[in-house]
Amino acid sequence: MGAWRVPGYSEMRELGEGAQGRVVLARHDATGRPAAIKYLADRLARDPEFRERFRGEAALLSRLRNPYVAGLYGLVETPDGAAIVMEAVDGVPLKAVLAGRGPLEPEAALTVLKGSLLGLAAAHDLGIVHRDYKPANVIVRADGLSKLIDFGIAVDAGEAGRSGTPVYMAPEQWRDEPASPATDVYAAACVFFECVTGRRPYAAGDQAGLMGRHLLAPIPAEEVPEPLRPLISRGLAKDPWDRPLGAAAFVSELEAAASSAYGADWEGRGVRTLAGAAAALSMLFPLTALGLGSGGAAGAAGAAGAGGAGAAGTAGAAGKGVFGALGAKGAVAVAGGTAVVAAGGAATYVAVADGEPKVKPIVAGLAALSEPRQDLGGGMTFQVQGQVVTVTGGDAPLTRKVNQALRAPLEKRWTGLRTSLKRIGRGGYTDVVKPKILMSGDRLLSVWYTVALRGERGSGWDHSPATTVDLRTGASYGPLDLFRVPTERGLAPLDRKIKAHLPGGTYCGGEPDASTGPVVLRGTDNPSKFVRSGEVTMALTPAGVRVAFYGSILGYASACGELDTVVPYAELGGMLKPALLAKVPYPSPTRS
């Protein structure tokens, strides 16, 4: 690494070393405050591409201010080297907790998953994908809370690449396809499985075998307790469109499953268990071992912050420490919310507050869909036409995330169509999309797409996609995300409620008779079973939940066409999540 060090800091111990450099625990000479300093390896510091990537990591962390993510203090660059100065978290990696203790109780596993998911959700809100979520990058403190670290290979959503830790990599990473927040959801589900069972969901003797397991092997949901199986099944889905679209959506599913299975106080029990497990390893805490910490309860945040300030306050205080280290003679220029300090050939970038940004309100509208005709091979072509709902205004990363969520159900449909059409043979097909905004408020935007696949085909291709999106977070709510208890038992009351609003009170227009047999929906008279498989579309309206699915007779999927109705909120009782209902704009649903 050479002799270069960040000026004004004294190194106390090494925390880790890898191919890209090393991380050390250091103390600011003037104030005694601890910090973690990540030094870029000498050979990489001389590589312009790696320098730029290192700056990108610092820029990302400067935007990411969240109590569940280790904060940035500053980036220091000189001709001799580069380093990122970060919050020193007094705790132990989840990897060490699992190695020393073995599997965790479900409540503890759910708690550590929730904490790190909230850190991921903050990144996803900015359009950032971590790509390397693993036990080594989750730090558990002595108070049982956790922080996410190491965004060294994070990218903007939509970028492709095979970077990551193979045992936790999602299928799309193995295929070198674009990363999305669902990519991090897959890794989080892998780690959650490991927390509960003590082993990874997939293992193999070599990398090729491991890739095959992640791409093709069945999801081992039966190896976790029954209440947790839906989380594993959804989180480890091979297709990213079948997973929760981001960490915020996964948190919603986690909380519903945890409360239903383990009671309202599940998180308190989980925190206590994690605190005990971490305390047993307190001598591994970097600050506590040197007599600088408080057993991890406050960690570096308490040491560096003023008056017990939170993560954002800590970052500000430590940023000043970097300024002090470089000396008062440095020239300071503030532009775009970043302070640049130059002194003795060094440049330090530290995020600064320059007042609340003025953000334009988010406005929904329509954009044209006219994409080039794709050649699917074998004489088969596919094209998309029509319109899609988009939003403008607002914070740019959030607007981008909302637009991705609005388009996501269509992208999922087109992925399935292209796969199916390849098996048909020759011909040209065009998918025509007509959107309708069901609900638009300051918090929720709900969109329904009427679709028609044109070309020589059978019936059953035109099932409506839909989505409801939170305009403040970009979280997308599919059918399972709407309900407090998204299990087969919890959804069972939907069957009679839906049927009551269909013509004749049946699923297929008219009463069953002896010659045709019973009127059924895909072989059974309860659509709730198909909510979990994605065969039922749901979206919120001001008056109730709109529901659509295909009715069938004797197993013929589209004999009755698509059935479409609205179930009023008043009839759904306590089935829907109260926090979600509270966001529905006027006229608001009747609440108990």
Give tens-digit pLDDT for 141-191: 888 888 888 776 777 666 666 778 899 999 988 988 888 888 999 999 999
Q: CA-CA distance, 122 to 111, in Å (whole number)?
A: 17
Instruction: Specify the DSSP element, H or E, that contains 355.
Output: none
Q: Inter-axis angle of helices 247-262 and 181-197, to 10 degrees?
A: 30
Q: CA-CA distance, 98 to 112, in Å (whole number)?
A: 12
Each as own residue / partner, the long-range contacts of residues 579-586 (CB below 8 Å, 24 or more positions apart, any chain) are: 580/477, 580/481, 580/482, 580/540, 583/441, 583/443, 583/444, 583/470, 584/439, 584/441, 584/444, 584/540, 584/542, 585/439, 585/440, 585/441, 585/442, 585/443, 585/444, 585/542, 586/542
Would you tell me how many other CB atoms lie within 10 Å of the CB of residue 19?
7
Q: CA-CA distance, 448 to 460, in Å (whole number)?
A: 18
Residue 352's contacts (CB-CB under 8 Å, 6 or more residues apart) are 316, 319, 334, 337, 338, 339
| Structural contact between residues 300 and 286, judged by C-beta atoms closer than 8 angstroms | no
Q: CA-CA distance, 462 to 324, in Å (whole number)?
A: 64
| Structural contact between residues 454 and 432, judged by C-beta atoms closer than 8 angstroms | yes
Tell me the pairing of strands 519-520 and 552-553.
antiparallel
Q: Which residues are catalytic?
A: 132
Query: What does the pLDDT read at residue 220?
Result: 95
How distant, in Å, are the alpha carbons of 165, 302, 406, 451, 506 from that of 571?
47, 49, 28, 29, 18
CATH classification number, 9-89+289-351, choose in 3.40.980.10, 3.40.50.300, 3.30.200.20, 3.40.30.10: 3.30.200.20
Give tens-digit pLDDT for 285-331: 766 666 665 443 333 333 222 222 233 222 232 232 222 233 322 22
Query: What residue type is assigned to position 417 of the chain?
Result: L
Query: Given its phi and psi angles, is residue 307 left (phi above 0), alpha (psi -120 to 50 degrees) or beta?
Result: left
Would you tell me how many other CB atoms lie within 10 Å of the CB of residue 250?
29
The CATH code belonging to domain 104-261 is 1.10.510.10
Q: Is 350 helix (H, G, I), strand (E, B) or coil?
A: strand
DSSP code per residue over 56-72: HHHHHHHH---TTBPPE
Residue 3's contacts (CB-CB under 8 Å, 6 or more residues apart) are none
DSSP alpha helix (H) spans, 305-359: 311-326
Would you tell me how many other CB atoms lie within 10 Å of the CB of residue 514?
6
Query: What does the pLDDT read at residue 147?
Result: 85
Query: What does the pLDDT read at residue 306?
Result: 27
* Residue among 580, 479, 547 nearest 589 (CA): 580
Give tens-digit pLDDT for 238-284: 988 888 878 888 888 898 889 989 988 898 898 888 888 887 877 77
pTM: 0.56
Each as own residue / partner, the long-range contacts of residues 279-284 (CB below 8 Å, 24 or more positions apart, any chain) are: 279/142, 280/100, 280/101, 281/92, 281/96, 281/97, 281/100, 282/92, 282/142, 284/92, 284/96
| Structural contact between residues 55 and 42, judged by C-beta atoms closer than 8 angstroms | no
Q: What is the CA radius of gyration of the chain?
A: 26
Q: Is 266 helix (H, G, I), strand (E, B) or coil?
A: helix
Q: CA-CA distance, 500 to 78, in Å (whole number)?
A: 71
Residues of the chain scoring pLDDT < 70: 1-3, 19, 152, 156-161, 286-360, 457-460, 506-534, 551-560, 586-592
Our CA angle for 511, 513, 517, nearest 5°, is: 110
Q: Is 106 helix (H, G, I), strand (E, B) or coil?
A: helix
Q: Is 268 helix (H, G, I), strand (E, B) or coil?
A: helix
Residue 191's contacts (CB-CB under 8 Å, 6 or more residues apart) are 94, 113, 116, 133, 134, 135, 138, 168
Instruction: Specify the DSSP element, H or E, that contains 23.
Output: strand 21-28
Residues pairing with 369 in the sheet? 386
Query: What does the pLDDT read at residue 552?
Result: 54
For the 358-477 domain, the top CATH level (class) is: alpha beta
Tokens standing for 541?
């309206």
Query: Given its phi and psi angles, is residue 386 left (phi above 0), alpha (psi -120 to 50 degrees) or beta?
Result: left
Query: What does the pLDDT read at residue 529?
Result: 61
Query: What residue type is assigned to position 542 of the chain?
Result: P
Query: What does the pLDDT read at residue 526?
Result: 57
How distant, in Å, are the alpha carbons of 203, 258, 260, 528, 541 from that of 486?
30, 11, 10, 10, 20
Task: Write a three-state SS string for 428-464.
Answer: EEEEEEEEEEEEECCCEEEEEEEEEEECCCCCCCCCC
